[in-house]
Amino acid sequence: MEIVERLFAQYGYLVLLIGLPLELIASPIPPGNSTLAYTGYLSYKKILDFLPALAAAYSGVLLGITITYWIGNKFGMPLIEKYGKWLHLKPKYLKKTRNAYEKYGNKMLLFGFFLPGVRQFNSYFAGIMHIPYRTFALYAYIGSFLWVLVFIGIGYVFGNQWQFVFAWIEHFLLVILLILCCTIVVYFLYKWRNRLKNQQDIHKGESE
C-alpha cells in the first residue's frame, strides 16, 4: 500500500487514468483492487471527489481493456508467447483464463475483473478468441464498471475500516462471487418463471 499512497500523493487522479490501464496491460504496479479501494477511502476523507474519482477510474479501466482486446485481436497468441513474460502474463494465467472461458463463456467478462491473474489476461484472451467487439464491450464494460464501483465503494462506505474489510473480501472473494452468481441466476429464473406464468394466464384468459 505504501507504493499506492505515494503515487496518489504525487499524481492524484492520474494514478487512475494511467496506473489502472498499466495494471490491466499486466504491469504489477499499481495493484488494481487496492488502488480502487484506496481511491474510495480518499473520497471518504474528501481528499478526492467521489464522482470524478469514479469517472477517472472507469475511464482508465476502459482504456486498458480496450487496448488489450485489440492487441489480442490483431496479434494473437504469437505476440503473447513471445513477449508475455515482459508483461507478466505467466503461462499459468493463460491456462487459468482459458479454462474459465471454456466453463463460463462470456460471463468471465462480467466477473473476471474480480479475479487477480484472470483480470490482467481477460481482455487479451477475448481478443485472441476473436469475440466480436460488440459482445466484448457489452460484457466487459459492464463488468469493469461493477469492479470499479465495488472496490471504490469499499473504501468510501467503510472509511477508516476499509483495510480490514478489504482484506476480508480479498480472502473470501471466490465465495462471495459464487454467492453473487447464484443470486443473479435465481433472480433471473424467478423473473422468467413469472413471465411464463403471466403468458400462460393470458392465453388461458383468451381461450375462455
Encode pLDDT of 119-177 as tens digits: 777 888 888 888 899 999 999 999 999 889 988 988 888 888 777 776 766 666 556 55
Q: How far apart are CA 170 and CA 74, in angstroms?
A: 34
Work out the widest C-alpha separation in the chain, in whole angstroms: 73
Pair 102, 123: CB distance under 8 Å: no
Output the pLDDT for position 172.
60
Q: Has residue 181 got a pLDDT over 90? A: no
Output the pLDDT for position 137.
92
C-alpha cell at 39: 481511491
* Averaged pLDDT for residues 24-44: 76
Q: How far apart are CA 43 and CA 155, in angstroms?
A: 8
Pair 134, 99: CB distance under 8 Å: no
Pair 21, 61: CB distance under 8 Å: yes
Residues 6+ apart with CB under 8 A from 38: 1, 4, 5, 8, 155, 162
Pair 8, 15: CB distance under 8 Å: yes
Output the pLDDT for position 145.
92
Percent of the chain with pLDDT strictly greater than 90:
12
Residue 194, CA distances (Å) to 77, 182, 198 in order:
45, 18, 6
Which residue has better confidence, 28 or 34? 34
> Average pLDDT of the chain?
76
Q: Has residue 117 got a pLDDT over 80? A: no
Pair 126, 109: CB distance under 8 Å: yes
